[in-house]
C-alpha cells in the first residue's frame, strides 16, 4: 500500500537498516524495482524527479505509481518527489498523489544557484506546513553536494565554482542541521558527506573510506529524530561500466561510492539512499548486449526484458546490502 516516507524510515530507524530510493521514469524501471522488492520482501521508495514527470507526463507518472501499489498490495510503497525546486513543484506532486516530497532549498528555484540559508528555511518550512496537513512527508537538504577530491560543488556558480572549498566547508554542519530541523520540522534531511550526483564521482579507485562517516555520526547525534538521506549514492560498479563499454558504449574511467561506505553510513544513522546512475548503467549495458548478440531482434519487449532483469539484479543487491530485505 502507499505509505509516507516517515512511516518507512521510522521502521528502518527502529530496526537499524537503510532503504534504497530508486529513481523511476518509465514502466520498465517500475517493474524492475517492484520485482526486486517482491523477491526480497523489501519496503519500496520510488522517486520521480521533475525531469521524470516531464518525460513520462503527469498522468503516466501518477498511474505508474498507482499500478505499482495495486499490483503489490503486500509491500509498503513510498511515492516521493525527488529534488523539488520550489513549493509549487512540491504542491503539484502532492496533488498528483505523492506521499512524500523533497523540497531542495539548498539551491534557488533554477536548481543550480546555491541559495542562502534563510531562503532554504523559508521554502522548506512552507512545504512542511502544507505537506503535513495532508499526511505527506518532507525531505529537506542542507549542505553542498560535490567532490571532496577537488573541492568543487555541484552548483553551477556561487561558492561552488568561484573557489575551491575546503573539506570541512563541503560537509553539512551538525549545529546548522539542528537549527534547520528545529526551524522547518522536516522528516528527513539530505546531507553532504562527500557524495555527488551522476556517474563521475571519483577519478581514482577508492582506497579506504571515501565518505566522511564521522560527520554522519555527528549529524545524527545532533538530530536523532530526523532521518538522514544520502544523495548521489550509486556505486558505479566496474562490471557495469565494462558491460557498457564492451558493447560499444563510451564511458570514461570513473568510480562511485563503495557499498561498504554506505553500510557504515547506515550504521551511523543514514536511512534513505538515493540511487539512479547504477540502474541507468545496468539497463544500458543489458540492452547494448542484446542488440549486439541478437541483431535480428526488433520487438522492444525482447531487449527491454533484458534491461529489466539487469536492473532488478542491482536492486536486489542493494536491498540486501542495506538490510532492507525481509523488512516489508
Ligand atoms: O538527482 C537526480 C536524479 O538522478 C534524477 O535525474 O533529473 O535526470 O531525472 P534527472
Ligand atoms: P546517483 O547519481 O549517484 O545515482 O544519485 C541519484 C540521486 O541522488 C537522486 O536524487
Ligand atoms: Zn539527488
The 10s digit of each residue's pLDDT in 291-310 is 999 999 999 999 999 999 99
> What confidence tier does 146 reach under pLDDT thresholds 50, 70, 90?
confident
The CATH number of 5-321 is 3.20.20.70
Residue whose C-alpha is closest to residue 235's, from 212, 253, 213, 261 = 261
Query: Which atom belonging to ligand 2 lies closest to the Cα atom of 233?
Result: 3
- What's the average model confidence in pLDDT over 4-14? 98
Which residues neighbour 221 within 8 Å (Cβ) at sequence distance 6 or greater? 174
Which residues neighbour 244 within 8 Å (Cβ) at sequence distance 6 or greater? 251, 281, 284, 285, 288
Which residues neighbour 255 within 8 Å (Cβ) at sequence distance 6 or greater? 201, 202, 203, 204, 205, 206, 236, 238
**pLDDT of res. 147:** 75
Task: Give yes or no for residue 178 CB within 6 A of ligand 2.
Answer: no
Confirm whether pTM is higher than 0.90.
Answer: yes
CA-nearest residue, atom 1 of ligand 2: 232
Query: Which atom belonging to ligand 1 lies closest to the Cα atom of 197?
Result: 1
How many angstroms separate the alpha carbon of residue 255 from the centre of ligand 1? 18
pLDDT value at 34 more than 90: yes
How many angstroms separate the alpha carbon of residue 82 from the centre of ligand 1? 8
How many angstroms separate the alpha carbon of residue 220 from the centre of ligand 3? 20
Task: Give yes or no for residue 276 CB within 6 A of ligand 1.
Answer: yes
pLDDT value at 59 more than 60: yes
- Point out the catalytic residue in the list 10, 82, 261, 276: 82
Examine the residue annotation and report whether 82 is marked as an active-site residue of this protein: yes
Task: Give yes or no for residue 185 CB within 6 A of ligand 2.
Answer: no
| Domain extent listing, the chain | 5-321
CB count, 10 Å around CB of 142? 25
The answer to whether 324 and 9 are in contact (CB under 8 A) is no
Amino acid at each position: 500500500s502507499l505509505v509516507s516516507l516517515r512511516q518507512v524510515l521510522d521502521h528502518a530507524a527502529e530496526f537499524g537498516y537503510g532503504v534504497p530510493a530508486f529513481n523511476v521514469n518509465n514502466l520498465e524501471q517500475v517493474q524492475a524495482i517492484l520485482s526486486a522488492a517482491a523477491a526480497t520482501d523489501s519496503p519500496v521508495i520510488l522517486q520521480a524527479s521533475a525531469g521524470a514527470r516531464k518525460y513520462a507526463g503527469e498522468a503516466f507518472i501518477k498511474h505508474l505509481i498507482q499500478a505499482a501499489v495495486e499490483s503489490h498490495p503486500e509491500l509498503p510503497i513510498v511515492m516521493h518527489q525527488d529534488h523539488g525546486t520550489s513549493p509549487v513543484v512540491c504542491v503539484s506532486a502532492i496533488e498528483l498523489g505523492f506521499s512524500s516530497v523533497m523540497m531542495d532549498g539548498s539551491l534557488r528555484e533554477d536548481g543550480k544557484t546555491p541559495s542562502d540559508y534563510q531562503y532554504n528555511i523559508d521554502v522548506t518550512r512552507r512545504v512542511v506546513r502544507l505537506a503535513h496537513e495532508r499526511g505527506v512527508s518532507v525531505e529537506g537538504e542542507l549542505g553542498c553536494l560535490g567532490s571532496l577530491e577537488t573541492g568543487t560543488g555541484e552548483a553551477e556558480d556561487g561558492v561552488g565554482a568561484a573557489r575551491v572549498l575546503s573539506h570541512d566547508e563541503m560537509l553539512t554542519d551538525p549545529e546548522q542541521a539542528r537549527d534547520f530541523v528545529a526551524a522547518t520540522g522536516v522528516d528527513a534531511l539530505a546531507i553532504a558527506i562527500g557524495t555527488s550526483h551522476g556517474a563521475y564521482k571519483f577519478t581514482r579507485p577508492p582506497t579506504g573510506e571515501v565518505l566522511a562517516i564521522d560527520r554522519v555520526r555527528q549529524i545524527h547525534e545532533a538530530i536523532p529524530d530526523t532521518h538522514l538521506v544520502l544523495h548521489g549514492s550509486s556505486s558505479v560498479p566496474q562490471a557495469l561500466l565494462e558491460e557498457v563499454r564492451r558493447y560499444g558504449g563510451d564511458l570514461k574511467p570513473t568510480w562511485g561510492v563503495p557499498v561498504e561506505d554506505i553500510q557504515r553510513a547506515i550504521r551511523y544513522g543514514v536511512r534513505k539512499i538515493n540511487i539512479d546512475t547504477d540502474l541507468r548503467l545496468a539497463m544500458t549495458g543489458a540492452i547494448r548486449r542484446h542488440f549486439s548478440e541478437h541483431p535480428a531482434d526488433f520487438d522492444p519487449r525482447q531487449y527491454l526484458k533484458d534491461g529489466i532483469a539487469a536492473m532488478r539484479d542491482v536492486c536486489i543487491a542493494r536491498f540486501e546490502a542495506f538490510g532492507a530485505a525481509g523488512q516489508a
